[in-house]
C-alpha cells in the first residue's frame, strides 16, 4: 500500500517535458513572408495579364473600326473609267464567301454597268461604332453616305447603315460580311 505522497503502481508515471518555445521569428521568416511574396507575385501577374488583355481588346476595337471604315469606302467607291482597278483593289480587303460573292457581283453587274452607263460612286463614312471585338473577330456598324452619279445626271445620295464583320487573317483585318441593316 502506498502512503500519502507516494505514487501508486496503478497510476502511470507522468513526466512533463518542457516543449521548446515556438520561434515565431522563424515561422515568419520561413513560412509567412515567402507565402505573402508568392501571393503578391501571383496577383501582380494576374493584373498584368488583365491589363494586357484589356489593352489588346481596345486595340482590336479601334483598329477594326478604322479598317471597316476604310474598307467600306473602298468597296462602295469607283469611277467609270477605272472601275476594274478600283474594285480589284477592294477585293484584296475581303475574305471567305463574301469575297467570292463580291467578285461575282462586280464582274457580272457592277463593272459592265459602270462602263456602259458611266456610273461613278463615292462613299464616305460619317460615323462608325464597334458592336463587338475580339483579337480575331470584330463587328462594326457604319453610317455611310454614298453619292452615285449616272452619266451627266444629277448625283443621288443614299445613307445606308452597314454591319461589317471582320476576321483577323494573318494579322490583317479582312471583311467577311458586309450587310445593309
Task: Using a pLDDT cut of 70, give the percent of the chain over it.
Answer: 91
Alpha-carbon distance of 173 to 163, in angstroms, equals 15
From residue 47, give the alpha-carbon distance in Å to each of 26, 40, 55, 169: 31, 11, 12, 29
Task: Name which residue leads in pLDDT, 13 or 157.
Answer: 157
Per-residue pLDDT, 8 = 54
Per-residue pLDDT tens for 149-170?
A: 999 999 999 999 999 999 999 9
Span of 12-16, 128-132, 137-141, 158-162 with lowest mean pLDDT: 12-16
Exposure string for 111-149, b = 16+ CB within 10 A, e = fewer: beebeeeebbbebebeebebeebeeeebbbbbbbebebb
Q: Does the pLDDT of residue 75 top 60, yes or no?
A: yes
Closest listed residue to residue 141, CA positions, set 168, 124, 121, 160: 160
Q: Facing residues of 72 across strands?
A: none
Rg (CA), the chain: 37
C-alpha cell read off for 64: 477594326
Asked if CATH classification 3.10.450.230 holds for the domain at 26-180, the reply, yes or no, is yes
Per-residue pLDDT, 45 = 87
Span of 10-24, 119-133, 146-160 with lowest mean pLDDT: 10-24
Task: Name which residue leads in pLDDT, 138 or 12.
Answer: 138
Per-residue pLDDT tens for 31-72?
A: 888 888 899 999 988 888 777 777 888 899 999 999 999 999
Alpha-carbon distance of 149 to 113, in angstroms, equals 12
Amino acid at each position: 500500500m502506498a502512503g500519502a505522497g507516494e505514487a501508486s503502481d496503478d497510476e502511470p508515471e507522468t513526466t512533463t517535458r518542457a516543449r521548446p518555445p515556438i520561434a515565431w521569428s522563424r515561422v515568419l521568416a520561413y513560412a509567412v513572408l515567402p507565402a505573402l511574396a508568392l501571393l503578391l507575385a501571383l496577383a501582380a501577374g494576374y493584373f498584368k495579364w488583365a491589363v494586357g488583355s484589356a489593352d489588346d481588346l481596345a486595340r482590336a476595337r479601334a483598329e477594326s473600326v478604322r479598317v471597316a471604315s476604310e474598307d467600306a469606302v473602298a468597296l462602295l467607291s469607283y469611277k467609270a473609267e477605272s472601275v476594274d482597278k478600283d474594285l480589284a483593289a477592294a477585293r484584296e480587303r475581303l475574305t471567305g464567301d463574301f469575297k467570292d460573292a463580291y467578285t461575282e457581283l462586280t464582274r457580272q453587274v457592277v463593272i459592265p454597268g459602270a462602263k456602259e452607263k458611266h456610273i461613278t460612286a463615292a462613299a464616305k463614312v460619317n460615323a462608325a461604332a464597334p458592336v463587338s471585338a475580339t483579337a480575331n473577330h470584330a463587328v462594326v456598324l457604319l453610317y455611310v453616305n454614298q453619292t452615285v452619279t449616272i452619266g451627266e445626271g444629277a448625283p443621288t445620295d443614299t445613307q445606308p447603315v452597314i454591319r461589317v464583320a471582320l476576321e483577323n487573317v494573318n494579322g490583317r483585318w479582312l471583311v467577311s460580311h458586309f450587310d445593309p441593316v
